[in-house]
Chains A and B, each alone.
Chain A
Amino acid sequence: MRLPSWRFIRMWQRNRDVFLRLWRSIAPGFIFEPIILLLALGLGFGAFMGVIDGQDYIYFIVPGVIASYVMTSATFECTYGAFFRMEYRRTYDSILATPLNIEDVVAGEIFWGATRSLVTATIILVVAALFQLLPSPWVLLVPVVAVLEGVMFASIGMVFVSLAPSIYSFNYYFTLFIAPITFFSGAFFPLDSFPEAVQVVSSIVPLTPAVELIRALVQGEFHPGLLLSLAYIVLLAGLFFFISMVAMRRRVID
């Protein structure tokens, strides 16, 4: 297996420059949507929900909204975005004619996806802080978890890109993977309301450990099981990162 070099930063910079040019047109997805969801669900739905786990519903879903939008930010970038650059714009072809190798390009995509996750998490945190929804100072570590979670979902997305026959394939990815794990992760309601079999599935979907970690940091309540959650994210992120290197080389340079 070939590893990426420091040159991945060039791909990251390219994506950053495009983002800085276009961010106004993509802002609804990563600024307004999570904020609307947070306030609508938290205040509107929360009025009926009452108290969950000893707190108002809106406090309960702040970490859930962060974790799920961190996931979708990285995922959009490293599914539709990456596939579009690879197949339609032929951006990869042009870059591969320079000293960058495919591993640099893929690593640049993944770390850019994680950067988008970081941006999204930061925006939601700022809004939540304005509404005084963040009781613990440990919340300052949430961006670290957002980056790890972002690398994990960006890498999983890139592996899927290496397999996808067409851009329509990502409809399956979002409908059959991203949407269910959002609901089985404990982001928007507690897992203990599910039957036991579903709880087992919930405990292995990759969003669950991210929700747990972010919730612990937002609320400032920790337990030893969180180390396992952290280890699980790091393990999956590393595993899929390396698989994506091999799989994308096979897909692009063949």
Chain B
Amino acid sequence: MAVIKVQKLTKNFKDLVAVDKVSLEIEEGECFGLLGPNGAGKTTLVHMITAVSLPTDGDIWVLGKDLRKYPRQIKAMFGVVPQIDNLDSELTVLQNLTTFARYFDIAKDEARRRSMAALNLFRLEGKSGSRIKELSGGMKRRLLLARGLINNPRVLILDEPTIGLDPQSKYLVWQKLRELKGQGVTQLLCTQNMDEAAVLCDRVAIMHRGRVLALDSPKGLVERYVGPKLLEIEVGADQRDSINQELQSRGLDFEDAAGTIQVFHCDADRLAQELEGLSWNLWPRLATLEDVFFRLTGRALVE
């Protein structure tokens, strides 16, 4: 049974369709990624799944239970790590965790024990008595993660968990998320970070303008939309037309992106050899999720 099942979920804000008939099934124990530019509808989708926002239309089922009917039981199974810092700045670091544990009816002693364990897990043990404003941005993010784990959630819902983190902190967070997956915690991860999606997620849905454009494993997405390897050709002063002509005559799948032309779904190494005589500046390279992302959502700025 799917842990989270979303059917034709829609959310309208006045004249904007933020989420447009999205259907998804997230399986037990997997890390499911939602990848998309700003305004793609990822956060709105997560808000609906966590019952913070009411769908305009459609259904959400968690372990077979209708979210509308059983919001409390369902939320009790979730650990939510929000995109924005909504730590309780009037309370200390430790109080933030124990207060949160109390929302889940965790008894006082157990709450304290779990809070200390969560602080240790995210290397915050020295900060238990600190005020929130004394923490760095990275520490706040780690505390939000610690807070999301306080009820030993069956499903962890993370909205941009590593945004603004230095590489060391990011690595620590990734490592913890992988450990949690190893323990069977299902994860729903919203991110704009392609590496993060590629490293952590079993399956990724690429969202754009409220819709899911593609859904597969990171590897599957790369193979389907760009091919495992692609060829990049630097476009010199007046080479554009001749390059375009040559590639067209060979019937290749390519895209002209600003200063570079990318050739997809090709045997990049062989093609590079064949084109060697043309004195173009070109190089084959491994395709990434980012290439898929740009192909599907375009390079224009999304506001």
60-94 of chain B: CB within 8 A of chain A: 71-73, 75-76, 78, 80, 82, 84, 86-92
A-contact bits for B37-79, CB 8 A (1 contact / 0 none): 0000000000000111110000000000000000111011010
Q: Which of A54-62, A93-101, A114-122 is found at the contact surface with chain B?
A: A93-101
Q: Are B103 and A254 in contact (CB under 8 A)?
A: no
217-254 of chain A: CB within 8 A of chain B: 253-254
Q: Which size class do A's interface residues fall under?
A: 20 to 34
Q: How far is the CA of A5 from the CA of B73 in the complex (A)?
A: 13
Number of B residues, CB within 8 Å of A: 29
Q: Are B75 and A98 in contact (CB under 8 A)?
A: yes
Q: Are A21 and B91 in contact (CB under 8 A)?
A: yes
Q: Are B51 and A98 in contact (CB under 8 A)?
A: no
User: Known contacts A96-B51, A101-B71, A254-B54: does B90 contact A90 (CB below 8 Å)?
Assistant: no
Q: Hey, which chain A residues are within 8 Å of B71, CB to CB?
A: 101
Q: Are B80 and A97 in contact (CB under 8 A)?
A: yes
Q: How far is the CA of A18 from the CA of B76 in the complex (A)?
A: 24
Q: Does B95 contact A (CB under 8 A)?
A: yes
Residue of A nearest to B131 (CB): A21
User: Known contacts A14-B99, A253-B52: does B86 contact A93 (CB below 8 Å)?
Assistant: yes
Q: Does A169 contact B (CB under 8 A)?
A: no
Q: Are B104 and A17 in contact (CB under 8 A)?
A: no
Interchain CB contact (< 8 A) of B100 among A89, A98, A253: A98
Residue of A nearest to B105 (CB): A99
Q: Hey, which chain A residues are within 8 Å of B102, CB to CB?
A: 10, 13-14
Q: Are A97 and B52 in contact (CB under 8 A)?
A: yes
Q: Does A130 contact B (CB under 8 A)?
A: no
Q: Are A93 and B52 in contact (CB under 8 A)?
A: yes
Q: Does A22 contact B (CB under 8 A)?
A: yes
Q: Are A101 and B72 in contact (CB under 8 A)?
A: yes
Interchain CB contact (< 8 A) of B104 among A5, A21, A99: A99
Residue of A nearest to B77 (CB): A99
Q: Does A91 contact B (CB under 8 A)?
A: yes
Q: Hey, which chain A residues are within 8 Å of B80, CB to CB?
A: 97
Residue of B nearest to A19 (CB): B90
Q: How far is the CA of A90 from the CA of B102 in the complex (A)?
A: 18
B117 nearest CB across to chain A (Å): 19
Q: How far is the CA of A208 from the CA of B86 in the complex (A)?
A: 40
Q: Are A89 and B89 in contact (CB under 8 A)?
A: yes
Q: How far is the CA of A139 from the CA of B102 in the complex (A)?
A: 37
Q: How far is the CA of A253 from the CA of B75 in the complex (A)?
A: 15
A248 nearest CB across to chain B (Å): 13
Q: Hey, which chain B residues are within 8 Å of A21, CB to CB?
A: 90-92
Residue of A nearest to B79 (CB): A97
B140 nearest CB across to chain A (Å): 13
Interchain CB contact (< 8 A) of A89 among B86, B103, B151: B86
Q: How far is the CA of A56 from the CA of B263 in the complex (A)?
A: 95
96-153 of chain B: CB within 8 A of chain A: 99-100, 102-105, 151
A19 nearest CB across to chain B (Å): 9
B296 nearest CB across to chain A (Å): 30
Residue of B nearest to A22 (CB): B90
Q: Are A100 and B103 in contact (CB under 8 A)?
A: yes
Q: Are A99 and B91 in contact (CB under 8 A)?
A: no
B12 nearest CB across to chain A (Å): 11
B89 nearest CB across to chain A (Å): 7
Q: Hey, which chain A residues are within 8 Å of B91, CB to CB?
A: 17-18, 21
59-100 of chain A: CB within 8 A of chain B: 89-91, 93-100
B55 nearest CB across to chain A (Å): 11
Q: How far is the CA of A98 from the CA of B72 in the complex (A)?
A: 7
Q: Hey, which chain B residues are within 8 Å of A13, CB to CB?
A: 99, 102
B78 nearest CB across to chain A (Å): 7
Q: How far is the CA of A99 from the CA of B74 in the complex (A)?
A: 8
User: Known contacts A14-B99, A18-B90, A22-B90: does B75 contact A99 (CB below 8 Å)?
Assistant: yes
A-contact bits for B257-283, CB 8 A (1 contact / 0 none): 000000000000000000000000000
Q: Are B88 and A253 in contact (CB under 8 A)?
A: no
Residue of A nearest to B102 (CB): A10
Interchain CB contact (< 8 A) of A91 among B76, B88, B104: B88
Q: Are B75 and A94 in contact (CB under 8 A)?
A: no
Interface residues of B (CB under 8 A from A): 50-54, 71-73, 75-76, 78, 80, 82, 84, 86-92, 95, 99-100, 102-105, 151
Q: 4 nearest interchain CB pairs?
A: A98-B103, A90-B86, A97-B80, A94-B86
With A99-B105, A253-B52 already in contact, 20 other A-B pairs whose C-beta atoms are closer than 8 Å: A7-B72, A7-B103, A13-B99, A17-B91, A17-B95, A17-B99, A18-B90, A18-B91, A21-B91, A21-B92, A89-B89, A91-B86, A93-B82, A96-B52, A98-B104, A99-B73, A99-B76, A99-B103, A101-B72, A253-B51
Q: List 20 A-B contacts (CB under 8 A).
A: A14-B88, A14-B99, A14-B102, A18-B88, A21-B91, A89-B86, A89-B89, A90-B86, A93-B82, A94-B82, A94-B86, A94-B87, A96-B51, A98-B100, A99-B73, A101-B51, A101-B72, A253-B51, A253-B54, A254-B54
